């Protein structure tokens, strides 16, 4: 590209890890800056909303959005950026599938607010105050955004062109994704950028120790067991999600002897990561007897939600719905 393209990087309900992932490009970021002019990067650039509003529609070539959508302010920003961008990319697990904060979808707004401002262990709130949008006290009028009743992935709010997986995306993945974007031929809409199209096991150093068929009599938890190094974690009995998780991360957690928790999300053609993970974990249970199966589940997978849906609950088929006006 001869002329510099306009690029934006924005965050919603995120932890900042995705911003760090960009900064971890270190020397490579200079190559990005050669090709692109950042028009919006709240941590790094002059920015105000009007600047974006004043741009022509689709004037920004690429907008990267990280973080899930949970407040009215985030929703407004995402909609605005969609309008102004030719290409919009969900960057990282939260934007892509809802992420860890998406686990909050099993709890109501009231339960969360109530703990934080009322019943929590250290809360001292005799006047029963709580954050209130459009709050007025005497002469003071405040505006804080509306806290929605659930977490949304970005494509439940606006149309998304591409996805970059990972919590957080690794340096290599970010670099691959950017290279793909600046290549002469754009990938097909809806593609996952920067990662592998095969499962994590394919790049795992322990793959050689994995037998053809895996059966597990007892699922282990790391609380009271220590994973052995240099041996497939699945055959040791850890619910490692490598087989149903997209590769591309270089198996970093497994190299630290920790089972994969699935942050790169599903493989192609899988709509619901958690459902697939249930299917896979159940299929390797080594028993055909109902009572025994129950016992195996009780001991190792008793509350499986956070294992199978750790990064993708808002995109479970049950929850996969477009945002309502004002987030509800």
Partner 1 sequence: MQHKITIDPITRLEGHGKIEIFLDEKGNVERAFLVVPELRGFEIFVKGKPAEDMPIITARICGVCPTAHHMASTKALDDLYKVQPPSPAKKLREMLYNMFMLEDHALHVYILGGPDFIVGPKAKKAERNVLGVIQKVGLEVGKKVISVRREIRELMTLLAGKVIHPAWGVPGGVTRGIKKEEVVNFIKVAEKGVEFALFTLKVFKDIVLSNKEYVDLILSDAYTHRTYYMGLVDENKKLNFYDGKIRVVDPEGKEYALFDVRNYREYIAEHVENWTYIKFPFLKKVGWKGFVDGKDSGIYSVAPLARLNACEGISTPRAQEAYEEFYKTLGGKPVHHTLANHWARVVEMIYAAERFLELAKDPEITSDNIRNIPTETPTVGIGVVEAPRGTLIHHYETDERGYITKANLIVATQNNSARISMSIDKAAKSLIKEGKYDEGILNMVEMAFRAYDPCHACGTHSLPGNIPVLINIRNKNGEIIKTIKNFE
Partner 2 sequence: MNNNNNKFEPKILGIFCNWCTYLAADLAGVSRMDYPANIRIVRTMCSGRVDPQFIFWGFKNGADGILIGGCHPGDCHYIEGNYKTLRRYLLLKRVLKEIGINEKRLRLEWISASEGEKLQRVVREFTEEIRSLGPITEDRAFKLNLIEHKK
Please pick, from the candidates 183, 184, 185, 283, the single residue that binds partner 2 as defined by CB under 8 A: 283
Q: Do residues 167 and 253 touch, judged by C-beta distance below 8 A?
A: no
Task: Considering only the stretches 54-62, 219-227, 273-281, 288-296, report the one whose residues sit in contact with partner 1 under the rule CB under 8 A.
Answer: 219-227
**Shortest distance, position 268 Cβ to partner 2, whole Å:** 14
Is 22 in a helix, a strand, or coil?
helix
Please pick, from the candidates 55, 87, 104, 181, the single residue that binds partner 1 as defined by CB under 8 A: 104
CA dihedral 142, 133, 69, 324 (to 10 degrees): -140
Supply φ then ψ for residue 155, to 5 degrees. -75, 0
Does the footprint of partner 1 cover residue 42 (CB under 8 A)? yes
Does the footprint of partner 2 cover residue 275 (CB under 8 A)? yes
Is 282 in a helix, a strand, or coil?
helix
Does the footprint of partner 2 cover residue 214 (CB under 8 A)? no
Does the footprint of partner 2 cover residue 146 (CB under 8 A)? no
Buried b (16+ CB within 10 A) or exposed e, 142-152: eeeebebbbbb
Q: Do residues 139 and 169 touch, judged by C-beta distance below 8 A?
A: no
- Under 8 Å CB-to-CB from 225, ≥6 apart: which residues? none
Q: Which two tokens stand for residue 322?
A: 């477009």
Binding residues for partner 1 restricted to 131-160, rule: CB under 8 A: 131-132, 135, 137, 139-142, 144-145, 147
Please pick, from the candidates 281, 310, 311, 312, the single residue that binds partner 2 as defined by CB under 8 A: 281
Binding site residues, partner 2, CB under 8 A? 105-108, 149-150, 270-272, 274-276, 278-279, 281-283, 285, 287-288, 290, 293-294, 297, 301-305, 308-309, 313, 316-321, 324, 328
């Amino acid at each position: 590209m001869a002329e510099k393209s306009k690029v934006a990087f924005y965050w919603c309900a995120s932890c900042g890890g995705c911003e760090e992932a960009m900064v971890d490009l270190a020397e490579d970021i200079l190559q990005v800056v050669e090709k692109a002019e950042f028009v919006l990067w709240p941590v790094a650039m002059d920015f105000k909303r009007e600047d974006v509003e004043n741009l022509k529609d689709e004037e920004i070539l690429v907008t990267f959005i990280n973080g899930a959508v949970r407040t009215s302010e985030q929703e407004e920003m995402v909609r605005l950026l969609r309008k102004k961008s030719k290409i919009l990319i969900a960057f990282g697990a939260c934007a892509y599938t809802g992420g860890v904060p998406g686990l909050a979808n099993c709890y109501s707004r009231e339960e969360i607010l109530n703990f934080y401002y009322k019943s929590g262990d250290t809360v001292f709130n005799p006047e029963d105050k709580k954050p209130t949008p459009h709050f007025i006290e005497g002469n003071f009028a405040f505006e804080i955004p509306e806290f929605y009743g659930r977490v949304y992935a970005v494509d439940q709010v606006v149309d998304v062109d591409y996805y970059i997986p990972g919590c957080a995306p690794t340096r290599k993945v970010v670099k691959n994704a950017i290279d793909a974007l600046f290549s002469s031929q754009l990938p097909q809409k809806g593609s996952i950028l920067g990662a592998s199209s095969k499962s994590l096991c394919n790049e795992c150093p322990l793959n050689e120790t994995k037998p053809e068929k895996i059966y597990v009599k007892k699922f282990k938890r790391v609380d009271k067991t220590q994973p052995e190094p240099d041996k497939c974690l699945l055959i040791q009995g850890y619910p490692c999600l490598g087989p149903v998780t997209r590769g591309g991360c270089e198996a970093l957690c497994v190299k630290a002897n920790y089972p994969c928790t699935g942050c790169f999300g599903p493989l192609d053609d899988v709509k619901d990561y958690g459902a697939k993970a249930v299917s896979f974990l159940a299929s390797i249970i080594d028993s055909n007897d109902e009572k025994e199966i129950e016992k195996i589940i009780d001991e190792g997978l008793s509350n499986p939600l956070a294992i199978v849906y750790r990064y993708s609950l808002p995109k479970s088929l049950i929850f996969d719905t477009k945002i309502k006006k004002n987030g509800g």
